């Protein structure tokens, strides 16, 4: 077998312990870093006589670093130098040259020269920098000051960077602070471990100024974006709580007003019903009184509906069950609306099954359901129209089926849903139609469902509306 020798341009890299690689790269980091900072000062101000010599020192340091990278690899696999070269690596999302450099940063490194090089670089970018000489001091400082970013050295005595990172991410009050791990190690295993533990990024020594600026700027931009989201969420929660408090106050106020309306209205109705006892009332006056009493009864019914809907929505509506004579229930529900239909010159048609069984249910609530639907039908039907009440027995379903229809102008599907489900009113006046109150319809729907029945509505433009509901013959309280 022919031995395959590496091509001339291929390099054989000898494995060395990570600690040795770290100890070789650390002093080179200081040599290159100090040289570059002095050269930058020379370019910014008066040229230094020894600037060319500094350039040679920096280049010599880089050459030495290149020799280490080309000939030695960390045990466990290392990252090729080109992978972290700013010339070859595309910037991360958010890495820009125009990041606003401000904020309080913490540099954690056991080597004084490394701390000074990194701190001076960051201060030159505009950041306020504090330093810690080990992990314990860093944790103490982070507990006292609101640092926005930590640059944490991996290899330190006692508590190394991994342990400090673990403790930071385990602390609920500190875990939101982004951590950039810094090390003279160029080991892929070390980078992967740091990222898996929650580090924001990883920077190798010696520091490239452009890469340092970009990584720090991107990490701070992400943190500030997350901070804004947290603040907005907190504000939304506070606003939601305040809105709930206002809604509760409104509901309490509405309940108080509605509850206080009942006694005086009841007194008015009682007084009007006894007017014929006080003196002689002629037929015309009697008819006017009847209309007024019916209107007052209708208003009282709506007040009761408001209270009942409030109770039902809280899940507390209870049925007072009894055996009900359906013919008597229907007659009592219809009687109060006959004068109103007559006054509007409407035809009131009743299609009632001949034999109706006794029904178990809440007589008062069913009386109001039928009355609300008939009253709404009369209100929405123009003069000369027809309101029809149908009552039948569905033997297969063991239920009584009710239908109240009219020949009004009908409405849209949106109006149907709102009348059936929402409190308030469905205002159809912009379409030239009558105003239909959905408050009573809401009560009807809730009361029917409390009986275990089904409530439905159908609006057909130009043909009218039909409301249907079914009540089981046997209702469980």
> Which pLDDT score, from 0 to 100, does residue 390 have?
95
pLDDT (tens digit per residue) in 106-115: 999 988 888 8
> Which pLDDT score, from 0 to 100, does residue 329 have?
94
Of 5-9, 140-144, 213-217, 471-475, give the lowest mean pLDDT range. 5-9
Question: φ and ψ at 323, to 5 degrees?
Answer: -80, 130
Q: Can you say whether residue 443 is alpha, beta or left, with left for phi > 0 and alpha for psi between -120 and 50 degrees?
A: alpha
SS3 (DSSP) at 182 = strand
3-state helix, strand, coil split of the chain in percent (to 5) is: 55, 20, 30
| Cα 290 from chain centroid (whole Å) | 54
For the cut 50, the answer to whether the pLDDT of residue 424 exceeds it is: no
Domain-wise residue ranges, the chain: 14-84, 104-231, 319-472
Residue percentage of the chain with pLDDT more than 90: 22
Answer for the pair 131, 121: CB distance below 8 angstroms, yes or no: no
pLDDT (tens digit per residue) in 95-142: 444 445 688 999 999 888 888 888 888 988 889 999 999 989 999 999
Average pLDDT, the chain: 77
In CATH, what number does 319-472 get?
A: 3.30.565.10
Task: Band the pLDDT of 362: cuts 50, 70, 90.
Answer: very high
Q: Which CATH superfamily is domain 104-231 in?
A: Response regulator (3.40.50.2300)
d(CA 473, CA 470): 9
- DSSP structural state of residue 45: S
- The strand pair at 104-108 and 128-132 is best described as parallel
Highest mean pLDDT among 55-64, 202-211, 309-318, 391-400: 391-400
Residue percentage of the chain with pLDDT more than 70: 69
Answer for the pair 450, 463: CB distance below 8 angstroms, yes or no: no
Task: Band the pLDDT of 73: cuts 50, 70, 90.
Answer: low
């Amino acid at each position: 077998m022919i031995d395959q020798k590496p091509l001339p341009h291929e390099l054989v890299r000898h494995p060395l312990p990570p600690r040795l690689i770290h100890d070789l790269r650390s002093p080179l980091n200081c040599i290159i870093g100090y040289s570059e900072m002095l050269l930058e000062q020379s370019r910014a101000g008066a040229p230094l006589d020894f600037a060319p010599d500094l350039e040679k020192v920096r280049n010599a340091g880089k050459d030495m670093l290149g020799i280490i990278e080309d000939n030695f690899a960390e045990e466990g696999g290392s990252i090729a130098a080109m992978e972290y070269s700013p010339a070859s690596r595309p910037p991360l999302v958010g890495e820009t040259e125009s990041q606003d450099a401000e904020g309080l940063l913490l540099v954690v490194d056991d080597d004084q020269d490394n701390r000074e090089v990194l701190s001076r670089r960051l201060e030159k970018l505009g950041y306020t920098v504090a330093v810690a000489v080990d992990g314990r001091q860093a944790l103490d400082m982070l507990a006292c000051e609101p640092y926005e970013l930590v640059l944490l050295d991996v290899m330190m005595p006692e508590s190394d960077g991994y342990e400090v990172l673990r403790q930071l991410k385990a602390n609920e009050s500190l875990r939101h602070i982004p951590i950039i791990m810094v090390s003279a190690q160029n080991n892929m295993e070390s980078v992967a471990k740091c990222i898996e533990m929650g580090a924001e990024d990883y920077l190798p020594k010696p520091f490239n100024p452009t890469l340092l600026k970009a990584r720090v700027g991107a990490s701070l931009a992400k943190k500030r974006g997350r901070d804004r989201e947290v603040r907005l969420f907190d504000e939304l929660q506070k606003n939601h709580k305040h809105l709930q408090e206002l809604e509760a106050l409104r509901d309490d106020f509405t309940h108080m007003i509605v509850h206080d309306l009942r006694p005086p209205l009841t007194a008015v109705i009682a007084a009007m019903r006894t007017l014929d006892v006080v003196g002689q009332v002629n037929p015309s006056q009697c008819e006017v009184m009847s209309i007024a009493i019916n209107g007052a009864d209708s208003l009282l019914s709506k007040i009761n509906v408001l209270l009942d809907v409030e109770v039902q929505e809280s899940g507390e509506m209870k049925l007072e069950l009894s055996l009900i004579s359906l013919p008597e229930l229907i007659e009592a529900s219809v009687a109060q609306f006959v004068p109103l239909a007559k006054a509007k010159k409407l035809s009131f048609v009743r299609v009632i099954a001949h034999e109706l069984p006794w029904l178990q249910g809440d007589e008062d609530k069913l009386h109001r359901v039928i009355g609300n639907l008939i009253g709404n039908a009369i209100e929405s039907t123009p003069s000369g129209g027809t309101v029809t009440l149908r009552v039948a027995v569905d033997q297969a379903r063991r239920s009584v089926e009710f239908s109240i229809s009219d020949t009004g102008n009908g409405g849209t599907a949106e109006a149907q849903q709102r009348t059936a489900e929402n409190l308030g009113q469905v205002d159809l006046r912009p379409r030239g139609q009558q105003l239909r109150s959905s408050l009573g319809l809401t009560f009807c729907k809730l009361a029917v469902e409390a009986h275990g029945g089904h409530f439905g509505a159908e609006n057909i433009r130009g043909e009218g509306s039909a409301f249907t509901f079914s009540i089981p013959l046997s209702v469980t309280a």
